Amino acid sequence: MALATNSAAAAAAAVSGGAAQPRLGASFLPLKRRTISAVHAADPAKNNGPVPVAAKTSSPTVAPEKKPAPAATGKWAVESWKTKKALQLPEYPNQEELDAVLKTIETFPPVVFAGEARHLEERLADAAMGRAFVLQGGDCAESFKEFNANNIRDTFRILLQMGAVLMFGGQMPVVKVGRMAGQFAKPRSDSFEERDGVKLPSYRGDNVNGDAFNEKSRVPDPQRMIRAYAQSVATLNLLRAFATGGYAAMQRVTQWNLDFMDHNEQGDRYRELAHRVDEALGFMTAAGLTVDHPIMTTTDFWTSHECLLLPYEQALTREDSTSGLFYDCSAHMLWVGERTRQLDGAHVEFLRGVANPLGIKVSDKMNPNDLVKLIEILNPSNKPGRITIITRMGAENMRVKLPHLIRAVRSSGQIVTWITDPMHGNTIKAPCGLKTRPFDSILVSIFQLQRSCLGSMFPTIIQHYNFINNLINLT
């Protein structure tokens, strides 16, 4: 899960109520594979060629005012990523079956809507300016086997719990983003895995192939994309119900604890905080301020995942009917990973043309000048909320490498939101063979970003449920 914190506490601000809801009258047209001539898809007014008929989504959110964008390095098209070198993509054995699956997905409704993505961008802009926290959470990768309502509820409940701790302690709105409803694909350092002399294709996530170590399971199967789409839609449907149906009401703050926290010191600390929130709500009621307002009974919740499986992402790209912008409607927010962020690569080419808020994963290997160039490619108009930088480099590298990255971005005048991922960067293997992270290293990563940013917004990615135990000790 991800946690955003700001060392300078601002005045309390109410979290905007209710997730953006789709307009029932939205019209959809199938996306035709024709060339889209554009300088940058984030500003279609600059297009200097024909725009194809594309699936359109309508949204109640008004499109932001367009600003002239500087000329990009080339014309963008929905398929222009295919002209670039694409890493981390599976090799499907049957091209005809793959094409048939992608054409089917192109006819499906979007998983998310453009107006929701614009709303998230506005909230991330607040975080970039130090007016909000960002909390992002979820598993490293979703799976088909672990898909059930209880797991979705428990992840959502932890995010609510952590959000309450952060909002009450920091007196600042919390932007909640789930690594859910689409986070299936996994980048691999090697295309093949070898066990006992047997060499098979690497497991790339449930939307590509299976994790069982046998030849049949490891063959990339395009039909898995349809199942991933269905699971994403079902997950988001349940999340919307939780977010707007009363489960997220602040009056339920004392009920968000998980069972494993019922009988320990950290659980007691959370209950103490929850009772203080209850007392504040009681005071509001006594003063005549209603607690039935949507701000108090609902919450905004957005989804995110790594933009890795480009054929699937393209199939869910739609032109928004209210703004003329193209959105990847598989998630509200997408990020480009450490292994696919090449300046001339296919993933960067695809992402520069969609209007979703974007993340950039960076490690200690990132060159500061390359980071500045990458931000310029993805956000040429320097729009606040468009870019979030997610650092994952371990505690020691955070001390040495991070200040140079921040200094380069600040010197360029680029507006970004900074996030740190202290989980992946601090991974060690326990004697029993399981991966774990020293909590001291996690704290160093978090507070090093705070020191480096000198009080500007920073979040952290946390992907283990039991981290909430220790999080409460920070409040």
3, containing H or E segment: strand 2-5
Question: Do the annotations mark residue 153 as ligand-binding?
Answer: no
**Distance, CA of 102 to CA of 121 (rounded, Å):** 28
Contact 472, 269 (CB under 8 A): yes
338 assigned to a ligand binding site: yes
Q: In the structure encoding, which two tokens stand for residue 167, read together?
A: 């909002």
Q: Angle CA(417)–CA(152)–CA(142) in degrees, nearest 5?
A: 70
| Rounded-to-integer distance, Cα 249 and Cα 419, Å | 27
Paired with 136 in beta bridges are 177, 461
* Sheet order of strands, 56-57 included: 56-57, 317-320, 326-328
Task: For residues 386 and 145, give the distance between their C-alpha atoms in angstroms, rounded to a whole number.
Answer: 34
- Report how far residue 445's alpha carbon sits from residue 426's, in angstroms, rounded to the nearest whole number: 9
172 contacts: CB under 8 Å, gap ≥ 6: 6, 9, 10, 12, 13, 131, 132, 133, 166
- The response to whether 339 counts as a known ligand-binding position is yes
Structure tokens at 41: 């898809």
What is the C-alpha to C-alpha distance for residues 119 and 63, in angstroms, rounded to an integer? 10
> What end-to-end distance do the CA atoms of the chain give, in Å?
17
75: buried, middle or exposed (CB in 10 Å: 19+, 13-18, 0-12)? middle
Does 46 count as an annotated binding residue? no
Q: How far apart are CA 64 and CA 62, in angstroms?
A: 6
Annotated binding residue 119: no
Ligand-binding annotation for 272, yes or no, is no
DSSP 8-state symbol, 49: S
Q: Is 75 annotated in some ligand binding site?
A: no
∠ Cα 362 365 368 (to 5°): 70
Query: Which whole-number Å values give the CA distances from 7 to 169, 392, 431, 451, in the listed order?
Result: 11, 20, 37, 9
SS3 content of the chain, % helix, strand, coil (to 5): 40, 15, 50
Please spell the DSSP secondary structure of 382-397, one letter per residue: --TTSEEEEE-S-HHH
CA distance 401 to 408: 11
Residue at token pair 């983003």: 177
Q: Is 193 exposed, middle or buried (0-12, 13-18, 19+ CB in 10 A)?
A: middle
CA 243 – CA 236 distance, rounded (Å): 10
Annotated binding residues for phosphoenolpyruvate: 179, 338-339, 361, 392
Task: Write out the binding residues for Mn(2+).
Answer: 140, 424
Binding residues: 140, 179, 338-339, 361, 392, 424
